[in-house]
Structure 1
Amino acid sequence: MTDPLTQVIALLRPSAVFSKGISGAGPWAVRYSVFGQPSFCVVLQGSCLLAVDGEAAITLEAGDFVLLPATPGFTMSGFAPAKAVSMDPRTNPAATGELRHGNRGGPPDVRLLGGYFVFDSPDAELLVSLLPALVHVRGVERLSVLVRLLSEESKERRSGRELVLTRLVEVLLIEALRAAPGDSAPPGLLRGLADARLARALRHVHGDPARPWTVADLARKSALSRSAFFERFTRALGLSPMEYLVAWRMAIAKGLLRRQEFGLAEVAERVGYGSASAFSTAFSRYVGQSPGQYARHPPAGPG
């Protein structure tokens, strides 16, 4: 059956990586304003504090990996009190070499490799809403290796660079999300997939979105009563089963319309509508413009 996590990552279309080394020593603190794009870092040595807006502050240690799918404002600091230096990730120049915070001389207290990329999908807001705001994974060496490979590739200008970066980011995202503890995640896809019974329903929806699914059908796939399934799904995903199904169908439809390889009737059939007119009505209501208008003038990705 189709893996929902892989499908979501593919539809997000991650690309365009920037990365750099970061270190801090003595009293230091930096305050980054809201960025909106996905960012990541891996701690190479030492430790520091990370306080992401809306989340509990955490201590980062060597080997830790952090992913922020829609980077909000955050503060990173050492453990000694220090006034935070404001930084805007959109306007600060991309300095070469390692970015140093705090004391300039001597060995650093912490060294990190951090960076960001972009999601080229205009559906990024919907898809990112299915992911945790903060992913913190400890001691997964594969993630550290992937970040190093990303960093090396992003600094080189070798042939095939863009394709390699895109594939590395896709693998990084999948590795990070499947290593994250889904049962304690906020409502969204990870939490749904962490529930073995809901995961069955999700895989069926993603594997055959055109099927005329009902709540009762999906409840049977999950071996739950209709009411128990509806409540459990809505609590875990933050959307009702039918809301999730429609959102997923429309995300697929948008991708098909952007490619302009299929007629309206075929797009309608692929996402579970019996006719082009029924699909057009549903799409227009959901998106705010007709499929034809969307295909001619698809919105640009957020990057």
Structure 2
Amino acid sequence: MDTLTGLLDGPKARGAFVLRSVLSTPWALRIEDRAPLSLLTMLDGEAWILPDGGQPVLVRPGDLALLRGPEAYTVADDRGSEPDIVVGPGQICSRDGVSVATSMALGVRTWGETRPGDERPSVMLTGTYLAEHEIGRRLLAHLPTLLVRPAGVDTTEDTLVRLLATEVTRADPGQEVVLDRLLDLLVVGVLRGWLAAPEAPGWLRAQSDEVVGPALRLLHDDPARPWTVAALAAEVGVSRAGLARRFTALVGEPPMAYLANWRLAMAADLLRDPELTIAAVARRVGYGDAFALSTAFKRVRGITPQEHRRPAAPAGESAAGAALPGEPAQPARPGPATVVLAAG
């Protein structure tokens, strides 16, 4: 597993909130749902995304915008439009404190407000992730608050947008799973574009290095193996000192420190599975027994594996010590406010 695969495996929708909004001009929505990640695209018309404290961006049909929570933002037809509808936690929509979920329903997963005579209202498609994945959380911490990929960069993504727009209004059996997977594919496509851009964290470039890249893949593929720097160096065909020096320079920490962080990240995910005992998780990620894993988990994250297994924190709140491999075990520095990727 390469480094990016491990990170991109994080955003997995499970009953994501996918909605088609149909709105007559003027319109403006205030989003205060604190969701960890949302995707937005316009099917018809344009919209301004105005992050709190960030640079406003105009989104045109086919553009894909990723918004990282929990910060609030406004989406509107015009920068000057005042929002009169607030979307709160749980995707509860209200106007002046009164729910409009029923009064503004327009069909299957379709919502909005149109005015007589408006033959071409704005049509917006949104997908909201309601929960975080452990490894994905650390990637999200480095994302900009607003990341926009222009239309036409990838024809596959353009096709996926059309598919999602078609599927969102259907009520077939298993439809929720179909929507989740389409949303995942779109999000991963945008993230891949960002990871290849200069704005991405520098440590990610290490995965393309001719020495450090293979070493990272070995650690990701078999974290339970009793690795040493010497064994890892032998596998990639360099000296122990050479690997340690190059790995630390590019990744930001020594190989064994990276491995320890990666093992704990994997353990944190596996511990969410009630079918796995702590001892079983320990064996999968390279700890000799449950006690060894518990000791390391407590030291780095400040909580025991048993405490970690309790219901997850509300959306937008990060777990203690959720650091990416290659960074200190502390909350990551926030990403930049707004990034618009190159059109080609």
Q: Secondary structure at the match of 1:210?
A: coil
Measured after TM superposition, the shift of residue 264 of structure 1 is 4.3
RMSD across aligned positions (CA): 3.9
* Corresponding letter in the other structure for 1:172: L
Which secondary structure state, in structure 1, belongs to the residue aligned with residue 282 of structure 2? helix
| Counterparts of 1:163 and 1:38, CA distance in 2 | 18
Answer 1 or 2: which has greater helix percent.
1
Q: Cα deviations across residues 33-92 of structure 1 (Å, max 9, x unaligned)?
A: 252232111222333322223542222122201122435211223346333335123321
Shift of residue 281, structure 1, vs aligned partner = 0.8
CA contact (8 A) 1:122 1:301 kept: no
TM normalised by structure 2 equals 0.67
**Structure 1 residues 110 and 281: CA distance shift in structure 2, 3 A:** same
Q: How does 1:120-269 map to 2 (within 5 A)?
A: 121=133, 125-138=137-150, 139=152, 140-180=154-194, 182-187=196-201, 192=204, 196-197=208-209, 199-211=213-225, 226-227=244-245, 229-234=247-252, 244-262=258-276, 264-269=278-283
Change (3 A) 1:180 1:109: farther
Please say which of residues 102-111 and 26-35 is displaced more in the overlay.
102-111
Which sections of structure 1, spanning at least 5 residues, go unmatched?
none
Q: For residues 133 and 242 of structure 1, what CA distance do their matches in structure 2 show? A: 32
CA distance in 2, matches of 1:256, 1:72: 28
User: Is the contact made by 1:15 and 1:169 (CA closer than 8 Å) also made in structure 2?
Assistant: no
1:16-37 CA distances to partner (integer Å, 9 max, x unpaired)?
Answer: 1333333556554433225223
Deviation at 1:178, TM superposition (A): 1.7
Which residue does 2:333 correspond to in 1?
none
Gapped regions of structure 2 (runs ≥ 5): 94-99, 316-344
CA distance in 1, matches of 2:289, 2:114: 63
Is the aligned partner of 1:50 residue 2:59? no
Deviations 1:213-247 (A, max 9, x none): 577858x969876455434323xxxx886665434
Matches of 2:257 and 2:114 in 1, distance apart? Answer: 48
* 2:31 aligned residue: 32
Change in CA separation of 1:260 and 1:284 when aligned onto 2, cut-off 3 Å:
same
Alignment coverage as a number of residue pairs: 294
- State how far apart, in whole Å, the 2-side matches of 1:163 and 1:54 are: 35
Return the match for 1:273 from 277, 280, 287: 287
The more displaced of 282-291 and 145-154 is: 145-154
Distance 1:227 1:183, change over 3 A: farther
Deviates more, 1:196-205 or 1:59-68: 196-205
Q: Contact 1:201–1:222 (CA<8 Å) still a contact in 2? A: no
1:64 aligns with 2:36: no
Identity between Structure 1 and Structure 2 (%): 31
In structure 2, what is the Cα distance between the partners aligned to 1:144 and 1:192?
A: 27
Q: Report deviation, 1:141.
A: 3.7
Alignment of 1:117 with 2:165, yes or no, is: no
- Find the counterpart in structure 2 of residue 300 from structure 1: 312
Cα pair distance change 1:61/1:213, threshold 3 Å: farther
The residue type equivalent to 1:129 in the other structure is A
Q: CA separation in 1, counterparts of 2:214 and 2:52?
A: 34
CA contact (8 A) 2:52 2:72 kept: yes
SS of alignment partner, residue 281 of structure 2 = helix
Residues 1:192 and 1:88: Cα distance change in structure 2 (over 3 Å): same
Mean CA deviation greater in 265-274 or 97-106: 97-106
CA distance in 1, matches of 2:312, 2:42: 33
Contact residue 27 and residue 80 of structure 1 kept, 8 A: no
State the Cα deviation string for residues 148-187 of structure 1 (Å, max 9, x = none). Answer: 4345445444333343334333323322222335333343
